[in-house]
């Protein structure tokens, strides 16, 4: 999830556990604790390799078991510096901040290895966008009211519970929307006799109204979108040949890592006798005005074979701009 949302969730967690003892300080420290797991992005400054950066992010820093250890020194130090709460409360405080961060990230599409070191499976419930203003902004505004109310006032607890209740309600709503749209996509695939081995659904960026689906079998990947404002508009599935036969000459550790990260949502295209384009499409399309893979998808790599060496680079489409993509998103949502 984006850093602002994690800060707000951490502040709410801090207020819930130690707000009565520490007042606004609990929210401040909670905000810090809520964003600490994402400090793994600092690794990006030391390594430009896109595969290693992808594997480091949401790795051990986002493990609910590793967090049991991370919370201990912070609890000890906090207990020494502020004795208004016992060390046990401080430990609960820091671990809760880390755990809620991890749990929220599990709700997005990227994938969070929350079970390390016992499992390296990437958990992604795919029920909320990594940035969703309709979740974050009301949550933040309601929680911000607590800053202006004394910690011993019942009104402060009411605003805190209001903010947390909104957060839980919105999350429950996204799961309900996902269940509905997942069923709709499944029925549409069956009605059109498209046989697939699996498919997943997820909301598109910045909203929970427009949803994307990616389905796959051994020969092809299918993508489609559906907006709850479509008003009867038929679902259109785009087909991309997987071309799995192109992969063996480019097999390497990086290709395995990228394929694993893609959760079966990938296909390949030849870029010449010694080059391969590998498309990770689990996030769905970025452009909705074209079916051409190099423009429709934002996240893909080029693998190049030179003698016994295989190199790889992430490709960033030159015809992509945020403002244009945002306008296209609004049009496709139907607003």
Structure confidence at residue 5 (pLDDT): 97
Q: Residues 107, 222: one domain?
A: no
* 158 within domain boundaries: yes
Residue 298 is predicted with a pLDDT of 86
Cα–Cα distance between 210 and 62 in angstroms, integer? Answer: 28
Per-residue model confidence (pLDDT) at position 73: 97
pLDDT more than 70, % of the chain? 99
At 319, the pLDDT band (50, 70, 90 cuts) reads low
DSSP-based three-state secondary structure for 181: helix
Assigned domain for 187 exists: no
What is the token pair recorded at 134? 């309709």
State whether 162 and 18 are in the same domain: yes
Structural domain count of the chain: 2
Mean pLDDT over 126-146 rounds to 97
Q: Is residue 186 part of a domain?
A: no
Same domain? For 87 and 118 the reply is yes
Residue 84 lies in a domain: yes
Query: What would the mean pLDDT of 194-205 be, rounded to a whole number?
Result: 96
Residue 110 predicted with pLDDT over 70: yes
Structure-model confidence comparison of residues 16 and 44, the more confident one: 16
28 and 168 housed in the same domain: yes
165 shares a domain with 271: no
Does residue 180 lie in a domain region? no
Q: Which DSSP category does 312 fall into?
A: E
pLDDT greater than 90 at residue 51:
no
- Whether 267 maps to a domain, the answer reads yes
Contact 275, 303 (CB under 8 A): yes
pLDDT category at 318 given cuts 50, 70, 90 is: low
State whether 225 and 169 are in the same domain: no
Residues 254 and 117 placed together within one structural domain of the fold: no
Is there a single domain that holds both residue 329 and residue 249?
Answer: yes
Of 145, 174, 203, the last residue of a domain is 174
Averaged confidence pLDDT in the chain:
94
pLDDT band for 201, please (50, 70, 90 cuts): very high
Instruction: Please compute the mean of the pLDDT values over residues 31-53 and round it to a whole number.
Output: 86
Question: Bigger pLDDT: 47 or 162?
Answer: 162
Phi first, then psi: what are they for 50, rounded to 5°? Answer: -65, -30
Model confidence pLDDT, tens digit, residues 256-315:
999 999 999 999 999 988 999 999 999 999 899 899 999 899 889 999 999 889 999 988
Helices 87-106 and 24-35 cross at an angle (nearest 10°) of 50
How sure is the predictor about 48, in pLDDT bands with cuts at 50, 70 and 90? Answer: confident
pLDDT band of 62, cuts 50, 70, 90: very high
Instruction: Assess if residue 184 is contained within a domain.
Output: no
DSSP per position, 43-75: GGGT---HHHHHHHTTSGGG-TTHHHHHHHHHH
Q: Summarize pLDDT for 208-267 with one digit per residue, the tens.
A: 999 999 999 999 999 999 999 998 899 999 999 999 999 999 999 999 999 999 999 999
Q: Both 166 and 32 in a single domain?
A: yes
For residues 302 and 315, give the distance between their C-alpha atoms in angstroms, rounded to a whole number: 7
Sorted by sequence, the CB contacts under 8 Å of residue 10 that are 6+ apart come out as 30, 31, 32, 33, 34, 35, 97, 100, 101
C-alpha 321: how far from its chain's center?
21
Whether the per-residue pLDDT at 138 is higher than 80: the answer is yes
In whole angstroms, give the CA distance from residue 47 to residue 56: 10
The range of the structural domain enclosing residue 233 comes to 192-333
Higher-confidence position of 41 and 203 = 203
Residues 206 and 99 in one domain: no
Q: Does a structural domain hold residue 185?
A: no
Tokens of 182: 């997942």
Shared domain check, 156 and 8: yes
Task: Measure the CA–CA gap between 98 and 34, rounded to whole angstroms.
Answer: 6
Whether residues 144 and 249 share a domain: the answer is no
């Amino acid at each position: 999830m984006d850093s602002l949302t994690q800060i707000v969730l951490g502040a709410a967690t801090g207020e819930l556990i130690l707000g009565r003892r520490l007042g606004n300080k609990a929210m401040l420290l909670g905000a810090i604790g809520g964003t600490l797991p994402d400090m793994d992005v600092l690794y990006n400054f030391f390594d430009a390799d896109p595969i290693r950066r992808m594997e480091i992010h949401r790795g051990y820093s986002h493990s609910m078991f590793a967090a049991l250890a991370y919370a201990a020194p912070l609890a000890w130090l906090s207990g020494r510096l502020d004795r208004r709460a016992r060390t046990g409360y401080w430990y609960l405080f820091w671990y809760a901040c880390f755990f809620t961060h991890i749990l929220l990230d599990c709700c997005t599409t990227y994938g969070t290895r929350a079970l390390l070191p016992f499992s390296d499976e990437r958990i992604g419930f795919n029920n909320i966008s990594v940035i969703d203003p309709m979740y974050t902004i009301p949550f933040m505004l309601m929680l911000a009211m607590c800053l202006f109310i004394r910690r011993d006032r019942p009104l402060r607890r009411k605003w805190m519970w209001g903010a947390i209740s909104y957060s839980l309600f919105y999350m429950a709503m996204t799961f309900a929307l996902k269940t509905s749209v997942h069923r709709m996509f499944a029925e549409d695939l069956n009605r059109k006799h498209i046989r697939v081995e699996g498919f997943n659904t997820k909301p598109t960026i910045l909203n929970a109204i427009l949803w994307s689906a990616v389905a796959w079998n051994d020969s092809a990947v299918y993508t489609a979108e559906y907006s709850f404002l479509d008003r009867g508009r038929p679902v259109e599935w785009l087909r991309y040949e997987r071309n799995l036969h192109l992969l063996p000459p480019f097999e390497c550790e990086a290709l395995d890592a990228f394929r694993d990260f893609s959760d079966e949502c990938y296909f390949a295209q030849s870029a010449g006798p010694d080059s391969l384009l590998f498309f990770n499409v689990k996030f769905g399309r970025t452009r909705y005005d074209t079916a051409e893979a190099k423009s429709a998808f934002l996240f893909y790599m080029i693998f190049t074979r030179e003698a016994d060496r295989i190199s790889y680079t992430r490709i960033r489409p030159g015809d992509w701009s945020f403002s244009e993509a945002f306008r296209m998103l609004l049009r496709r949502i139907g607003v």
